[in-house]
Amino acid sequence: MMVKISTLEDAIKSFGFHLEMERNLSPQTCRAYLSDLRDFSGFMEGQHLDGISREKKDLEDFDQLHLRIYLANLYKRRLQKASIARKLAAMNTFFRYLIREGIIGVNPLAGVSAPRKDLLMPRHLSVDEVFDLLGDRFADDVKGMRARAILEIFYSTGIRLSELTALNREDVDFEQALIRVCGKGRKERIVPVGIPALKALKDYLEKRGSLKEDGGPDDRKGPLITGRNNERINPRTVERIVDKYMRMSGNQKKISPHALRHSFATHLLDAGADLRSIQEMLGHESLSTTQRYTSVSVGRLMEIYDKSHPKARGGSSQA
């Protein structure tokens, strides 16, 4: 017999199970959804709102007024527009799930508008800055070679931080120069990888003692990049490596590993790669996400304009 879900807390637990087991979303995505919903639940727990029992929080009692009170609280906390929009998107998905399951009849978020997000250009490095970052300053030891391999792979493939840390040795095909990546929603894709990145990776594995005599990894199931105790490297460690070598390159920009992903996409676009191919390599579900890089590449458009337009440099033309 199906248990009736009436409280917000029970509904969030049910939604979490749905995300993990039915939609097969990654653990990071599930945590993000549930974190936003628990922020809402925590706010409601501390409120004395008309029609809602502080102890019970019946779902059927929520209406648009309560959601607007929560939205006003988000603004009061000075959250960024993108964060507010993300929380409302999570809640909208949550309420649509409850409607589909017959738990509630109306979406209380209907008619509540999310803030218009500011258009932020993806942060990226120039080609010269990337070459400075990948210069000859890596120590000839396991940590130094690991750092080079990490930075080379990021720039060569454009994969996400979570995707890099999840790589196993069996995911790299050295002969075909390809890697298999498990992306968002656990969707797999094949991404080409450049020769410098493969060489850096081989040097690292060899230094770590993780290559056979024939040059292949000794344990095809093990993690590709390791940290302490030969366990899978922690994402925070990777972030510290990127930060350290940015400072060593003399660049004072504060960037995340994601900036190397943006650099990868921007430089491909600048060199003439089409958006569909870049979308496939980045693992974007929607082309509109990839199209952000067209804004970043305005420099390339200006260069084409300067070379092609007869009046671009102030010259005169005959009528």
What positions carry a catalytic annotation?
Answer: 160, 184, 258, 261, 284, 293
Q: From the CB of residue 281, how many other CB atoms can be counted at a distance below 10 Å?
A: 21
Backbone torsion region of residue 275, taken as left when φ is above 0, otherwise alpha when ψ lies between -120 and 50, otherwise beta: alpha
Q: Pull the structure tokens for residue 261.
A: 């992903």
Residue 234 DSSP code: P
Give phi and psi for 146, each to the nearest 5: -65, -45
Exposed e or buried b per residue across 136-152, where buried means at least 16 C-beta atoms within 10 angstroms of its C-beta: eebeeeeebbbbbbbbb
How far is residue 145's CA from residue 129's CA, in Å, rounded to a whole number? 20
* Angle, CA of 138, 155 and 80, to the nearest 5°: 110
DSSP string, 87-155: HHHHHHHHHHHHHHTTS-SS-TTTTPPPPPPP-PPPP---HHHHHHHTSS---SSHHHHHHHHHHHHHH
**257 and 234 Cβ atoms separated by less than 8 Å:** no
Kindly state the helix (H) or strand (E) to which residue 81 belongs, with its residue range.
helix 81-100
- The two structure tokens encoding residue 172: 């790299």
DSSP-derived secondary structure for 157-210:
H---HHHHHH-BGGGEETTTTEEEEE-GGG-EEEEE--HHHHHHHHHHHHHTT-
Which residue in 242, 256, 235, 150 sits closest to 196, CA to CA? 150
